[in-house]
Amino acid sequence: CQYCGRTPPEIKLVVDHLIPVAQGGTDVFENLVTSCEDCNSGKSDKLIKDFTGGFNKEEWAEHIQTKHLYILKERREKLDEIKQHWASS
């Protein structure tokens, strides 16, 4: 999902319009992104900047990537703690 970063197979991706059809958006490639069903229904007929708190598509992708890297780092640290605990038992 280009909004939240989730990926298949855990979630189903759908096509979303950056400029909603209800606001004059078309099916041209530059106006389409993949999104999960949750984000797509949450975004509804809003413009991307209204949905993302002011970020454009590229800024939002970078924001999500940074967030995911932070989450992965936290998970690795937790796994290391668990491995240390089991190794010392």
Segment 22-57, tens digit of pLDDT: 889 999 998 898 999 988 888 888 887 887 888 877
Cα–Cα–Cα angle for 38, 40, 41, nearest 5°? 70
**65/7 Cα distance (integer angstroms):** 13
Greater pLDDT, 64 or 82:
82
Residue count (the chain):
89
Query: What pLDDT is stored for residue 83 in this prediction?
Result: 93
- Cβ–Cβ < 8 Å for 60, 48: yes
User: Has residue 8 got a pLDDT over 80?
Assistant: yes
Cα 45 to Cα 20: distance, rounded to the nearest angstrom: 5
Question: pTM value?
Answer: 0.58
